[in-house]
Structure 1
Amino acid sequence: MEAPANALVVHPGEAAEASLTDGAFELLADGGAVSASRLTLAVGADGAPPHHHKLSHEVFYVLGGTMVFRLGDSLTTVKKGGLVIIPPGLAHAFGAAEAEVADVVVVLSPGIERFGYFEQLAAISRGEAEFDSLVPEQDRYDVHFEDIPDWRSAP
């Protein structure tokens, strides 16, 4: 049986992928009502530099391992089965805990076409591009970088 024409169904193995030096992205849905990805991070790896979104809520559901989040001025750890919802405007960063691999589904709503952002992040992690190449794209991808040099340190 097929899904209705207006439904999005992504079967295993159909997602676009972007490999990182410390993990991998599966890019599941891009734009529309939501943007969705699955992120697997190596032990202690950072997921994204500190940033905020002006337009989107960001939702994290931890499938495995433990994630560390900086939410504004607070640090928190979230284990398998935990959920984090970040409202627009809240500065945040995230990564795998120091002793664990982490597996997380990330959803942004409303969705913004961001596959290009994730592909650029992957290129940066592999040393193929400079981080500064993303700075002019902050509005396009609704990812606005924050100056928090050591985000894992307690504020």
Structure 2
Amino acid sequence: MTLLGESNATPGGFTSYRSSFATGAAGAPAHFHTRATELFFVLGGSLRVLVGEEVNTLNQGDFLTVPPHTPHAFAAAPGAEADVLFVFTPGLPRFDYLRLLGRVMRGEADPKEIAESAERFDNHYVDSPVWRAELGQG
């Protein structure tokens, strides 16, 4: 993950980062944002994405907008890598959330810190039977 830029100093600011996913790698579980619209631009490879109750595959050059309150999830498509540019607007200091995710993945922080930060970072996890089925988790 490469943190590119964030600005919440002006109305309509943004947060932007780029993520590369190894073949078949997990991305984010089902979640939604209450204040931000999330934009996806696939720079390379293929990304499997849940939006609401529908799962689609985005390929290189595809663009997706996910409005607030819309459950979504993503992962590299089966058998594919993915390189994706993410943009959130309006912006808020989301880089601290991304850094927290990294610490949790490395075992340096407790996963419950993610749940405790939901309001601060506008990232609310939800259950999605559709996404669980897509991942083969029943």
Q: Which bin holds the TM-score, normalised by the shorter protein?
A: 0.7 to 0.9
What is the CA–CA distance in structure 2 between the aligned matches of 1:131 and 1:70, rounded to whole Å?
Answer: 23
Sequence identity (%): 37
What is the CA–CA distance in structure 2 between the aligned matches of 1:82 and 1:143, rounded to whole Å?
Answer: 24
TM-score (norm 1): 0.79
> What's the offset of the Cα at 1:127?
2.7
> What's the offset of the Cα at 1:101?
1.1
Q: What code does the residue aligned with 1:87 have?
A: P
Alignment deviations for residues 8-47 of structure 1 (CA, whole Å, 9 cap, x no partner):
xxxxxxxxxxxxxxxxx11111232110000111111122
When Rg is computed on C-alpha atoms for both structures, the one with the higher figure is 1
Query: Is 1:93 matched up with 2:69?
Result: no
* Residue ranges of structure 1 left out of the alignment (5+ in a row): 1-24
Query: Is 1:30 matched up with 2:6?
Result: yes
What is the CA–CA distance in structure 2 between the aligned matches of 1:72 and 1:60, rounded to whole Å?
Answer: 15
Alignment deviations for residues 54-109 of structure 1 (CA, whole Å, 9 cap, x no partner):
00100000000000001111100000000010000000000111111100000000
TM-score (norm 2): 0.88
Structure 1 runs, 4 residues or longer, greater than 4 Å off: none
Query: Is 1:111 matched up with 2:91?
Result: yes
* Residue ranges of structure 2 left out of the alignment (5+ in a row): none
- Alpha-carbon RMSD across the aligned residues, in angstroms, is 1.7
